[in-house]
Amino acid sequence: MHLSPLVTSIPENPLRALFPYAGRPGMLNLASGHPSRDAYDVPGLEAAAAAAASEANAWSYGPAGGDPDLIEALAGLSAPVPKGHRLLVTSGAQQAVDLALRALAPPGSRVLLPEPIYPAILSLCAAAGIHPLGYSVAAGDQDLAGLAGTLAEGHIRAIYALPTFSNPTGESWSRRQRLRMLELCAAAGVPVVEDDPYRMIHLDAPPPSSLAELSRKVPGVVVVHAGSLSKFVAPGLRLGWAIAPAPLAQAMQELRQATDLQPNSFAQRVAVHYLRSGRVEAHLERVRALYAARKTALASVLHLAGFDVPNTGGGMFLFPRLPEGQGADALFERAVAANVLIAPGRAFALPGRGAGLDDRVRLCFAGLSEERIREAAQRLVGAMERAES
């Protein structure tokens, strides 16, 4: 038996290497990007599940592109689906991105990924035989000069972006950066895959318009928009969506049928009933308040201890710079000894890079209560200070 080289090329996901630590008794986990259980509206979901379970079509095969009622409900969540586009229901935003990149980029071709990067996107590229090249968009880089150069090198089949409350940084691109990026991609003829699962988790003002919305102002650019119910309804439903120009949506749907036939009928009916229940806005307000308090608790302890904590407006993560002279890999070991789990910056590097990320750590503020997150932050600062003394 020989395994396919595409499979053996999948890099070890450095975040999964942290799982064994997460289970240790007393460990406070700031590393995993999981919502806390009190962030689910369980009574609302129970009612939706009961309504769904009594429907025969919840148990049957259904359309490959998704349940028509769910397509309508999802289209109503954000901006309307543009003319000439279709919304496909997917198994989370991960499947939406996977289908979009595989539909656009054959094995052996190249796509652009931002640095730092959510590592599951690297796994996805490796499994599809796609070669990733890095680009970066820094807060001060309003003209995206570096991206212009990279796009001009040519032979790029697609560019992936997570411009809103990014994983791992929590930061968002400005409206000017978004428009400039779309202009560059239009000029280079490179389609954009916009991963946008955190948009609803804004903790103060709503974020800038998505690349998909702004694309109407930029003739000729192609944008696939990927959304998810995982971050504001429940990840266990495994439901996301993609909005794409109809021919690309059709190609993605055919790939999807070849892979796993169709979205989960029952989970889709649960989502339909939940989204129609009138509970979503109040639930979202509750989650936003919960996460805002947790983020503030985490950021203030770190700031006092000398971390450089960028000002982010939402999502689930902070990606602070450690105080001068600290390294994330070394801090990781001491933090584990102090029963707090963090994700070192290097976990978010493209293959063969990462040296520039050793002064960063990713910390998720969504998974622990305000009290426990303050305790976790204090343990982390304690671990650092003990090493200094």
Among candidates 193, 228, 197, which has minimal Cα distance to 89?
228
- Neighbouring CB atoms inside 10 A of 119's CB total 21
Contacting residue, 246, 261, 304, 337, with a copy of itself by CB under 8 A: 261
Taking each helix axis as running N to C, give the angle between helix 68-77 and helix 265-275, from 0 to 180 degrees, rounded to the nearest 10: 40
What character string, x for contact with a copy of itself (CB under 8 A) and - otherwise, covers 268-297?
Answer: --x---------------------------
- E strand residue ranges, the chain: 28-29, 85-90, 110-114, 131-135, 156-161, 192-195, 223-228, 240-245, 317-318, 340-341, 343-344, 361-364
Whose Cβ is closer to a copy of itself: residue 6's or residue 145's? 6
Q: How many residues bind a copy of itself (CB under 8 A)?
A: 76
Task: Rule CB under 8 A: choose which of 17, 24, 53, 308 binds a copy of itself.
Answer: 53
Of 258, 278, 325, 352, which lies in the binding site for a copy of itself, with binding defined by CB under 8 A?
A: 258
Nearer to a copy of itself, 263 or 313 (CB): 263
Could you tell me the smallest distance in angstroms from the CB atom of residue 319 to a copy of itself? 21
CA distance 353 to 134: 10
Interacting residue with a copy of itself among 105, 179, 357, 366 (CB under 8 A): 105
Task: Restricting to residues 329-388, name those near a copy of itself by CB under 8 A.
Answer: none
Site track 106-145 with a copy of itself (rule: CB under 8 A), x = hit: xx-x----------x--xx-xxxx----------------
Residue 133 pairs in a beta bridge with 112
Q: How far is the CB of 364 from a copy of itself (least distance, A)?
A: 12
- Per-residue b/e over 48-60, b at no fewer than 16 CB within 10 Å? bbebbeeeeebee
Inter-residue contact 167 to 347 (CB < 8 Å): no
What strands, in cross-sheet order, belong to the sheet with 192-195? 85-90, 240-245, 223-228, 192-195, 156-161, 110-114, 131-135
Q: Which of 234, 338, 376, 384 binds a copy of itself (CB under 8 A)?
A: 234
Considering only residues 156 to 215 of the shown chain, the ones binding a copy of itself according to CB under 8 A are 157, 189, 191
Smaller CB separation from a copy of itself, 10 or 387: 10
Q: Helix or strand or coil: residue 29? A: strand
Run of H or E including 266: helix 265-275
Distance in Å, CB of 326 to a copy of itself, minimum: 30
201 DSSP assignment:
-
Q: Which is nearer to a copy of itself, 53 or 152 (CB)?
A: 53
Q: Counting contacts by CB under 8 A, is residue 308 touching a copy of itself?
A: no
